[in-house]
Every structure is written in structure tokens, then in C-alpha cells.
Structure 1
């Protein structure tokens, strides 16, 4: 049986090395998710609001709600 000495584990600076790797991964993933949300959700939502209010007539909508009896104080 030959007994070889095991290599000593790296202890000094291990936390800093791991933090650097994990922080880089976390920042990259969070920026990727933020960009996906912006393009997939926020821009589409803004476009939907613009399209809705382009032809929206508040007085027509009010009159329809008044005729439907939604308002109690308006005859």
C-alpha cells in the first residue's frame, strides 16, 4: 500500500472567489430577466394602453354607463 499525501484544500480567499462567481451569475441572470420582462410584458402593455386610449371617448362611455343605471345620483 502506498500512502500519498492529499493536497491541502484552499481555504484562504475561498469565500471571496465563490462570491465573485455567484455575484456575476446573479447579476447576469437578473439583467436578463429584467430585459425579458421589459420586452415581453411592459412594452406590450404600453402599446395596449396607447391603442385603447387612441379611440376612447369618455363622454360616450359615461352615457352608456348612465343609461345602464350604474350611477345612482345621475339621471
Structure 2
């Protein structure tokens, strides 16, 4: 598993983590929306290294959800 993905699965101060069978979703903690949006952009930019990420826009130039789906790395 990629180190970045492992770190995300631990959780952090800017987001709540909810696991599901294919991966997990992340939502911002109230008051941390800007930090969450920065993280969402980083997660999406790293998508492909063991996972795919989809973010939902919040309607105000940020994001209010990131869905991460894990996959096996293809050589």
C-alpha cells in the first residue's frame, strides 16, 4: 500500500473518515473546510498510486467530500 494512502487512512484534524468495502470517504471537520479543500486537491493529484479519488464540489470553489477507492497497482 502506498505510504500516502496509509497516512490518509489514519485520519487527520481536517477531516472525518468513514470506511466502506471499496475504500473510504473523507468529509471536512467544521471550521477546517479550507484545509480540507487543500487536502482534497492533493489526494486527487496523487490518484492512481493504489487508489482513485473523486471529490464533490461544495459550490463555493472547495470540496465537501472525497471518495477514495482502493485498487491494485497495475504494472
- TM over 0.5, yes or no? no
Provide TM-score, normalisation by structure 2. Answer: 0.25
Higher relative contact order (CA 8 A, sep 6+): 2
The structure whose Rg is larger is: 1
Flag the structure with higher strand content: 2
Provide TM-score, normalisation by structure 1. Answer: 0.25
Flag the structure with higher helix content: 1
